């Protein structure tokens, strides 16, 4: 039965730790990195006897990409779900021992997004086994490193897949998400000259220099709040989240750095927003305060509603056949794999079981009925969007 099947798959996934180290230096062993989930996926696709590839993105981190290829398919869907989870510090349940209680499955990743992945795997297996007439071609991509730098989906996006529509699993309560902001994160650095703190005039204080930079950034971020907002997502934002500098209270500091988080809206370009800040700082500070930018370690494009607009109604109609009514369309504040996919030209939507309020929590869970409905929803979308009458979608 599909219900017990999806819960079983989710339990299998949760019991295989795949914690994203989030940029920290950690050993290549449990619970870090996605290898255990990738091995499970490989045997899952092998047992279905479908073509698949295991593509290494960085050492020990592989995208798994499987294909359901009916010969008469008219459209191709990309289903995307990420293999990694956030870390487990502070959790009050055993993160890797899935438990099913009171209509919920508990465990790290159950909501974000192993639940969505289990539903996609279950629907994919049903497509392969039933081969419903007129179904779309489905490429199921299980990516790595969504929670930190999106290297998996960025590699997938640059692979040149011929796809009509990508559906990205994230907990949306089975609503159709058409837009979200993107993010760029990088450091600004100032340098000085170290000397003994009893003779500060002999040196140059990098923290004092950064103070000027910070004031200019704060002014700039306030202007940004007043800039033309996106109708769904509001204005872009800029925030300073960390500062680091100095070695000791008795040494004039020769370095200082801050971490910036710039949220971009559709229409903004990741490189363009960095240049705009650089120009604003030069204008505010002149040549008196030298500073430098690091390369960004996160460059996640936004998702705008335009590219996938003609697919939204067919998708809602397919979901309506399962749920009895068409789901809402919404925009969300968090970023997803749909950013890089959409930026590469693939129309993309975000759709999955569970509530984002339960993602990344200390007792993460997902409702079993959401999981079961998601299996039906994904399956219905593959059947519905394979049919004709979607010529307006091109
Ligand atoms: Zn996620």
Distance of CA 63 from the midpoint of ligand 1 (Å): 15
Residue 176 Cα to ligand 1 midpoint, Å, equals: 15
Collect all residues with Cβ–Cβ distance below 8 Å to 34 and sequence separation of at least 6. Answer: 18, 60, 61, 62, 83, 84, 144, 145
Cα(173)–Cα(249) distance, integer angstroms? 51
Q: Are 111 and 171 in contact (CB under 8 A)?
A: yes
Q: Ligand 1 center to residue 82 CA distance, Å?
A: 7
Q: For the segment 162-201, what is each residue's pLDDT rounded down to a tens digit?
A: 999 999 999 999 999 999 999 999 999 999 999 999 999 9
Q: How far apart are CA 196 and CA 373, in angstroms?
A: 67
Question: How far apart are the CA of 71 and the centre of ligand 1, in A?
Answer: 32
Quote the pLDDT of residue 386. Answer: 78
Residue 29: per-residue pLDDT: 85
**How would you classify the pairing of strands 348-350 and 292-293?**
unpaired
Instruction: Give every CB contact of residue 101 below 8 A, 6+ residues apart in sequence.
Output: none
User: Is 182-300 in the same CATH topology as 2-180+302-393?
Assistant: no
pLDDT in tens, 74-105: 999 999 999 999 999 999 999 999 999 999 99
Between the CA of 332 and the centroid of ligand 1 the distance, in Å, is 12
Q: Please give the pLDDT value at position 391.
A: 47
CA distances, 171 to each of 81, 109, 117, 360, 365 (Å): 11, 11, 11, 11, 11
Taking the centre of ligand 1 as the mean of its atom positions, its distance from the CA of residue 113, in whole angstroms, is 5
The count of other CB atoms within 10 Å of the CB of residue 93 is 18
> Distance from the CA of 169 to the center of ligand 1, in angstroms?
8
The topology (CATH level 3) of 2-180+302-393 is Aminopeptidase (3.40.630)
| pLDDT surpasses 80 at 2 | no
pTM: 0.91
CA of 118 to the centre of ligand 1 (A): 13
- Give the other-Cβ count within 10 Å of 150's Cβ: 27
Mean pLDDT of the chain: 95
Per-residue pLDDT at 3 exceeds 50: no
Tell me the CA–centroid distance for residue 69 and ligand 1, in Å: 27
Residue 96 Cα, ligand 1 centroid: separation in angstroms? 17
Distance 162 CA to ligand 1 centre (A): 24
pLDDT in tens, 202-226: 999 999 999 999 999 999 999 999 9
Cα 287 to ligand 1 centre (Å): 43
Tell me, in angstroms, the distance from the centre of ligand 1 to residue 90's CA.
19
Q: Ligand 1 mean position to 254 CA, how many Å? A: 39
* b/e code 352-374 from CB counts within 10 Å (16+ = b): bbbebebbbbeebbbbbebbbbb
Look at residue 388 and tell me whether its pLDDT is greater than 60. no
**Each residue of 304-313: pLDDT tens digit?**
999 999 999 9
How far does the centroid of ligand 1 lie from the alpha carbon of residue 216, in Å?
A: 34
Centre of ligand 1 from the C-alpha of residue 342, in Å: 16
CA distances to 302, 305, 349, 388 from 135, in Å: 30, 25, 19, 10
Span from the CA of 83 to the centroid of ligand 1 (angstroms): 9
The pLDDT, as a whole number, for residue 1 is 41
Q: What is the mean pLDDT of residues 136-162?
A: 96
How close is the Cα of 12 to the center of ligand 1, in Å? 18
- Tell whether the model's pLDDT for residue 47 goes beyond 80: yes
Question: What pLDDT, on a 0 to 100 scale, did the predictor assign at position 28?
Answer: 84
Tell me the CA–centroid distance for residue 78 and ligand 1, in Å.
Answer: 17
Residue 72: the pLDDT is: 87
- What average pLDDT score do residues 137-162 get? 95
CA of 215 to the centre of ligand 1 (A): 34
Give the SS3 label for residue 173: coil
Q: Quickly state the pLDDT bin for 376 (edges 50, 70, 90).
A: very high
- Fold annotation for 182-300: Alpha-Beta Plaits (3.30.70)
Closest to 336 in 3D by CA, of 363, 319, 315, 359: 359
For residue 300, the CA-to-ligand 1 centroid distance in Å is 14
* Whether the predicted pLDDT of 333 surpasses 90: no
CA 371 / ligand 1 centre spacing (Å): 15
pLDDT tens column, 268-294:
988 899 999 999 999 999 999 999 999
- Rounded Cα distance between 354 and 374, Å, is 9
Q: What is the residue extent of each domain of the chain? A: 2-180+302-393, 182-300
């Amino acid at each position: 039965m599909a219900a017990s099947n999806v819960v079983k798959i989710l339990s299998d996934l949760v019991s295989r730790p795949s914690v994203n180290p989030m940029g920290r230096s950690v050993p290549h062993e449990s619970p870090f990195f996605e290898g255990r989930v990738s091995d499970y996926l490989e045997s899952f696709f092998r047992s279905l006897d479908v073509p698949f590839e295991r593509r290494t993105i960085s050492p020990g981190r592989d995208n798994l990409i499987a294909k359901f290829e009916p010969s008469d398919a008219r459209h191709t869907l990309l289903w995307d779900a990420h293999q990694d989870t956030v870390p487990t510090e502070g959790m009050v349940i055993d993160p890797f021992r899935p438990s099913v209680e009171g209509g919920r499955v508990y465990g790290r990743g159950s909501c974000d997004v192993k639940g969505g992945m289990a539903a996609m795997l279950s629907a994919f297996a049903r497509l392969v086994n039933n081969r419903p007439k007129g179904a779309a071609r489905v490429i199921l991509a299980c990516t790595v490193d969504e929670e930190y730098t999106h290297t998996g989906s960025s590699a997938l996006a640059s692979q040149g897949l011929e796809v009509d529509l990508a559906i990205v699993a994230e907990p949306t309560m089975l609503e159709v998400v058409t837009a979200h902001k993107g993010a760029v994160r990088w450091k600004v650095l100032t340098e000085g000259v170290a000397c003994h703190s009893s003779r500060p005039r002999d040196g140059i204080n990098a923290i004092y220099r950064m103070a000027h930079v910070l004031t200019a950034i704060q002014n700039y971020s306030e202007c940004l709040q007043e800039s033309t907002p996106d109708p769904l997502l509001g204005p872009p934002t800029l925030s300073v989240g960390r500062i680091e500098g100095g070695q000791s209270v008795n040494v004039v500091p020769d370095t200082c750095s801050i971490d910036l988080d710039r949220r971009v809206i559709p229409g903004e370009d990741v490189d363009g927003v960095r240049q705009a800040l650089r120009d604003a700082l030069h204008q505010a500070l002149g040549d008196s305060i030298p500073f430098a930018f690091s390369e960004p370690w996160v460059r996640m494009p936004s998702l705008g509603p335009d590219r996938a607009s003609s697919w939204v109604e067919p998708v809602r109609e397919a979901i309506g056949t399962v749920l009895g009514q068409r789901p809402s369309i919404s925009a969300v504040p968090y970023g997803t794999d749909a950013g890089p996919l959409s930026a590469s030209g693939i129309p993309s939507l975000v759709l999955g079981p569970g509530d984002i309020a339960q993602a990344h929590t200390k007792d993460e869970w997902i409702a079993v009925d959401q999981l079961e409905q998601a299996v039906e929803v994904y399956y219905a979308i593959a059947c519905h969007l394979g049919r004709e009458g979607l010529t307006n979608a091109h």
